[in-house]
Amino acid sequence: MSRFIPSRAYEWPTLILLCITYLLWGCFTYYASTLGSILTILCLAPIITLHSSLQHETLHIIEPKSKLLGQSLVFPAIGFFIPYIRFRDTHLAHHVNEYLTDPYDDPESYYLCKTIWATQPRWVQKVLTFNNTLIGRILIGPCIGQIAFMHQDFKAILKGDTSILKAWLIHAISVACVLWGLLTYTTIGMGTYILACYCGLSILKIRTYLEHRAHENMNDRSVIIEDRGLLSFLFLNNNYHAAHHAQPQIPWYNLPLFFNENRSKFINKKHNYSYPNYKTIFSKYMFQAKETVPHPLWSIENRNDR
């Protein structure tokens, strides 16, 4: 196991990829007027997706060894929408595997409690059901996720949570710095850039769409997608998600090898939750919800019994 987990804080493959990402981001924004809005968005969206994946990689691999280095590497809010500190804190809470998909204790769960679901207006139920299709997750998923995320955070702020308030204030400063840089040194329009950020988040929703399912056994809740194409690269091999949850300290470039050497552990006939590639997922779930929005195993009664 140790051979998959480097002891150094300076992850050269990740550092090199970060440098390339920032370089491409700078080039595409600088030459935006030459490229035109559509081509600029097509170029920037995957770069912003990759930066989000690098943030995820950094919080697991670099920041535990060097907090200052980790945060400084990925802190520029080029994706605009999600404060890095809040992403870090909620994502680490998500990694308590026994709570995976729990609509109360998993901050990244897309499920609702059955009791709460029953109280929602019909139009809300229809919107959330559409969001449970892949096309819905791509088109409106970023908007729904952002609204829910900010709603929960601002409720906590109003209740006096100063740590969340601090995270959003730091994020606002970071966004202001990025905006200043874009307006001062590049030729991109703000409408074009914001749309590129939204599209980048839409691509990321392809990864999160199938990451977890409701299951009584926590070891059978995370997916394996055996894809090594462009999406797998943009997600930094996090499509091997069950392997990532088993050993989150393994860096992206070692994750496929770790999975291959432990394949029978992650793919079994009894509770198989795996797909051969993203093409299969698009074919199966583009217009069909993979599961219901109300969690089939959790309710208010479950939570009260804990």
- Boundaries of every domain in the chain: 2-207+287-304
Would the pLDDT of 301 be above 70? no
Would the pLDDT of 13 be above 60? yes
Tell me what pLDDT residue 163 has: 96
Q: What is the pTM of this model?
A: 0.94
> CA dihedral in degrees (74, 62, 141, 256; nearest 10)?
130
Q: What is the pLDDT of residues 92-117, one digit of tens each?
A: 999 998 899 999 899 999 999 998 99
Tell me what pLDDT residue 8 has: 67
What b/e sequence results for 258-269 when a residue is b if at least 16 CB atoms lie within 10 Å of its CB, and e otherwise? Answer: bbeeeeeebeee
* pLDDT bracket for residue 152 (50, 70, 90): very high
Tell me what pLDDT residue 303 has: 55
Would the pLDDT of 87 be above 90? yes
Contacts of 172 (CB under 8 A, 6+ apart): none
CB 62 within 8 A of CB 252: no
Would the pLDDT of 270 be above 90? no
Average pLDDT of the chain, as a whole number: 92
- Please report, rounded to a whole number, the percentage of residues in the chain having pLDDT higher than 90: 79
Mean pLDDT of 248-253: 94
Would the pLDDT of 264 be above 80? yes
Between CA 68 and CA 179 the distance in angstroms is 23
CB 182 within 8 A of CB 29: yes
Mean pLDDT of 45-67: 94
For 219, 227, 264, 271, the CA distances from 268, given in Å and listed in that order, are 11, 18, 6, 6
Would the pLDDT of 218 be above 90? no
Q: Which of 15-19, 28-32, 67-71 has the lowest mean pLDDT?
A: 67-71
* pLDDT bracket for residue 219 (50, 70, 90): confident
Beta 274-275 vs 224-225: how paired, if at all? parallel
Mean pLDDT of 160-174: 96
* pLDDT bracket for residue 245 (50, 70, 90): very high
For 146, 151, 156, 166, the CA distances from 162, given in Å and listed in that order, are 20, 16, 9, 6
Tell me what pLDDT residue 11 has: 82
* pLDDT bracket for residue 10 (50, 70, 90): low
* pLDDT bracket for residue 9 (50, 70, 90): low
Tell me what pLDDT residue 5 has: 76
Length of the chain, in residues: 306
Mean pLDDT of 266-292: 89
Q: Which of 214-223, 224-233, 269-278 has the lowest mean pLDDT?
A: 269-278
Q: Tokens in use for 193?
A: 């850039």
Q: What is the DSSP string of 49-73?
A: HHHHHHHHHHHHHTTTT-HHHHHHH
